[in-house]
Amino acid sequence: MDALLAKLNSYHILSSLFPGAIFYNILNIFLNITFIELSFITEICIFYFVGIIFNRLGSLLTENVCKKTKIIDFVKYEDYIKAVNKDNTIYSFVETANMYRTFLTGFITLLILLPGYIYKNGLSIHILTISIALIFFIVLFFYSYKKQVGYITKRVKNYINEVN
């Protein structure tokens, strides 16, 4: 167990394990979906797996939608690589941005799944409250992600301007 935890760096914890634990428990608490009791190690593995799913969906879908629609300004990857080699604090901004992207993707996914839950269980004040909360969290994490990517973009552009 210690060896497994030692291999989890801050990126994995922030972008996969932590969001995975949150979304696993959201399903359990808010949607009344209960899971069998599991060992601590099994739960950690499930949290990590759930987090990886949302992280990858965020990387493949959410980020690409933001790039293609240009609602978030990204820098060229080549410029990012050059800048991060000079200013390694940029990487900590990327970790945080990816965590925000993962949460954004998770909340969008939950909102997409909500109509199926409503169809199965009916509409209630509980579901309306969850819907409002999901929309709030989507807006919150979208703007958090946008702001964090903005910090990265500014640092990279400042580095590129210094070099040129």
CA 119 to chain CA centroid, nearest Å: 27
Q: Cβ(152)–Cβ(75) under 8 Å?
A: yes
The answer for 87, left when phi > 0, alpha when psi is -120 to 50, beta otherwise, is beta
Computed on alpha carbons and rounded to an integer, the radius of gyration of the chain in Å comes to: 18
Q: Cβ(80)–Cβ(125) under 8 Å?
A: no
Q: Cβ(55)–Cβ(19) under 8 Å?
A: yes
Please check the confidence at residue 8 and state whether its pLDDT lies above 70.
no
pTM (2 d.p.):
0.86
| pLDDT given at position 64 | 96
| Closest to 62 in 3D by CA, of 111, 100, 19 | 100
Residue 36 DSSP SS3: coil
**2 falls in which pLDDT band (50, 70, 90)?**
low
Q: Which domain holds residue 36?
A: 2-163
Rounded to the nearest integer, the mean pLDDT of the chain is 88
Please check the confidence at residue 102 and state whether its pLDDT lies above 90.
yes
* Percentage of the chain exceeding pLDDT 90: 51
> Measured on CA atoms in the order 82, 10, 41, 43, is the torsion positive or negative?
negative
Map 2-27 to HEC letters. Answer: HHHHHHCCHHHHHHHHHHHHHHHHHH
Residue 21 DSSP SS3: helix
Torsion of CA 81, 92, 15, 137, to 10 degrees: -110
What is the total count of domains within the chain?
A: 1
* Percentage of the chain exceeding pLDDT 70: 88
Please check the confidence at residue 42 and state whether its pLDDT lies above 90.
no
Distance spanning both ends of the chain, measured CA to CA: 49
